[in-house]
Amino acid sequence: MFRRIFATALIAGLLSGFGISVVQEFTTTPIIIHAEKFEGGKVGDPQKQSLPHRGLKLISPALAHGDNSKKTHSDEGAWAPDDGIERTLFTTIANVLTGTGFALIMVACFAIAGSPINGRTGVLWGLAGFGIISLAPALGLPPEVPGAMAAELSGRQTWWFFCVAATAAGLWCMIFRKGVPWALAGIILVALPHLIGAPQPERVGGPVPPEIAAHFVAASLFTAAVFWCLTGWLAGTFWARFAPEE
């Protein structure tokens, strides 16, 4: 069983990580590069651009809600991969690691659920992962382009983990439990993080035009949906293929 879990997760994570890296080159990456020109407050002035955001921008939740707060002058000396091959390489590596981690969680859920899984049902699990990890937190903390205003990082991280846990528990109550009380409990859990509210910055705005920020949110969620569906399909397909013979 453990060999089946790890083999499925490794293959699914590797393929989905490479696949989504290709998709990002046509969706989020061009927007990030464009937004970085505005990040320092002056288009085309590389001396006033904050370097940490030239690094990895992925579909994983923590990176989709990157730390755009507390920019300091010391950030200017921080290391970041250069544009081009180096940036693409490090982004791909991070995507593969992220994909493998999420695939491992998904395949473990396959094993716990005990129901027949194939590529089609894997896509449904992937859509659930998209809703839990990407879509629900984005209602309170939408993906941020470089230079966007943001609340303090620890507060955002705490709310994000709370939102993910509550959404996952709520969906579990509504899908795997029967009865009206369970359904009501699930709805309350899903809504609770948004009723409490995510941390917000003291003021909104920033040097990046709102049209670019809105485009980035849409592109990030689209990319995340592709990633989760691809991961779910791959995980379900290889999970069924590696099933022991009766």
For 167-213, how does the pLDDT look when each residue is reduced to its tens digit (9 = 90+)?
999 999 999 899 999 999 999 999 999 999 999 888 776 788 888 88
Q: At which residue do the structure tokens 């493998």 appear?
A: 100
Give residue for tokens 């300091």.
72
Residues of the chain with pLDDT > 70: what percent? 80
User: Phi and psi of 60, rounded to 5°?
Assistant: -70, 155
pLDDT surpasses 70 at 71: no
180: in domain: no
pLDDT number for residue 150:
80
**Residue 209 falls within a domain, yes or no?**
yes
Q: Looking at the 3D structure of the chain, how many domains does it have?
A: 1
- Answer yes or no: is pLDDT of 52 > 60: no
Q: Is residue 23 part of a domain?
A: yes
- What domain range is 17 assigned to? 2-151+200-241
Give the pLDDT confidence score for residue 80 in this predicted structure: 62
Of 74-83, 96-105, 172-181, 201-210, the one with minimum mean pLDDT is: 74-83
Q: What dihedral do alpha carbons 144, 145, 149, 155 form, nearest 10°?
A: 30
Closest C-alpha among 186, 140, 180, 181 to residue 166: 186
Q: Identify the band that residue 147 occupies on the pLDDT scale cut at 50, 70 and 90.
A: confident
Residue owning tokens 């439990």: 177
Which positions ≥6 away from 122 have C-beta within 8 Å?
Answer: 106, 232, 233, 234, 235, 236, 237, 239
Look at residue 118 and tell me if it is in a domain.
yes
Strand, helix or coil for residue 245: coil
Rounded Cα gap, residues 239 and 17, in angstroms: 18
Residue 53 lies in a domain: yes
In this structure, is residue 246 part of a structural domain? no
Question: Residue 60 pLDDT > 50, yes or no?
Answer: no
